[in-house]
Amino acid sequence: MKEFQTSKAIKRLPDQFFATLIDKLNAYESKGWDTINLGQGNPDQPTPDHIVDSLKEAADNPEFHQYPPFHGYTFFKEAIAEFYKREYDVDLDPETEVAIMPGSKTGLVELSQCFLDPGDVALVPDPGYPDYWSGIEMVGAEMKPMPLLAENDFLPDYEAIDSESWEKARLMFLNYPNNPTGAVADRAFYEETIKEAEKHDVCVIHDFAYGAIGFDGVKPLSFMQVEGAKNTGVEVYTMSKTYNMAGWRVAFAVGNPSVIKAIETIQDHYFCSIFGGLQKASATALLSSQACVDELASTYEHRRDLLLSGLEEAGYHVEPCKGSFFAWLRVPEGYSSQSFADALLEETGLFVAPGIGFGASGEGYVRIGLNNSEETLKEAVVRFKKFAEK
């Protein structure tokens, strides 16, 4: 069959790391292997009933069978503003400071399309969520990795960024609680970020995907809580992790009105918002009791404790992650992140994500997801022990 040539933009797209990873796992599973998937960040529990019920009810509403308003329903934007006020004491104008997005993965790609031209630089965390790269590559901009090192508590060192990169930089992606390292950021770090961003005229995109998942009694700080943040950029929040709604594809951005306007402008061309029923159920999630969220965070904390104490017994020390649902394990001497992940899969059926897939500074680590039941994590620990003893 004739093969049509794709555009240069499509050719520039990097391999989708997680898609490649899952292909590998599927190949092993199709051979009948007994695998445990610790590699993906896919929430394993169902969406709480009251949110599902709200969608069911909304599906019967003929108003939602029509095209939704281009920029989404006002009731959803107001719910988002109320959520930010209640959770973070942040004031948002629902009309100009909130944009609804069909999942934050899409939104993060759109943001590069909105603000970068060829030759511009985007500062990205390294290791970091690989989808930041997609939009940057698509527009032909340059990526400047900001190494996240253990000795800096996995925060970027702004002084290490050369002046030419600062000069060309237009966007900076940040993500705390962090995927993949599990680190969190404090107010001082965000204050420094705002200072640097203002000095170099860089727009900050804070990806708050794991905002609801903080451990040891510490609630992760929203970037928007820090003075000056709204002037400096936006925060992207997804329903996927907080409410186990990954399959629903609902997210939003809040903050700087010019950035919100750009998101809505690009979306006017891509989408006509998202199904009204999804917006209704998402508003229900944000405005109802948050007991399900507290329970979720404590479930992940228990799983973290169980996994880390088991790994410790197996001889692998992992610093407890402070948020997100990932453990960032330094691979034993003699292995690369890929060779350790491969050996673990071949010898035990344990599937972990090699750190190199998150950037050069991810080398030497693998990411272990906490998206499995305690029972499965106990079995994973047994296999880690066997692997360590061989």
- 207 lies in the site for ligand PLP, by CB under 6 A: yes
- 190 lies in the site for ligand PLP, by CB under 6 A: no
Query: By CB under 6 A, what part of segment 93-122 binds ligand PLP?
Result: 103-105
For ligand PLP, the closer of residues 316 and 326 by Cβ is: 326
For ligand PLP, the closer of residues 200 and 367 by Cβ is: 367
Choose, by CB under 6 A, the member of 122, 204, 224, 251 that binds ligand PLP. Answer: 251
Query: By CB under 6 A, what part of segment 32-51 binds ligand PLP?
Result: 41
Choose, by CB under 6 A, the member of 112, 179, 282, 361 that binds ligand PLP. Answer: 179
- Shortest approach of ligand PLP to residue 105 CB, angstroms? 3
**CA-CA distance, 191 to 182, in Å (whole number)?**
21
- 235 lies in the site for ligand PLP, by CB under 6 A: no
Choose, by CB under 6 A, the member of 47, 181, 222, 240 that binds ligand PLP. Answer: 240
- 244 lies in the site for ligand PLP, by CB under 6 A: no
- 282 lies in the site for ligand PLP, by CB under 6 A: no
- Shortest approach of ligand PLP to residue 365 CB, angstroms? 16
For ligand PLP, the closer of residues 211 and 276 by Cβ is: 211
- 174 lies in the site for ligand PLP, by CB under 6 A: no
- Shortest approach of ligand PLP to residue 177 CB, angstroms? 9
**Contacting residues toward ligand PLP, per CB under 6 A:** 41, 103-105, 129, 175, 179, 207, 209, 238, 240, 246, 251
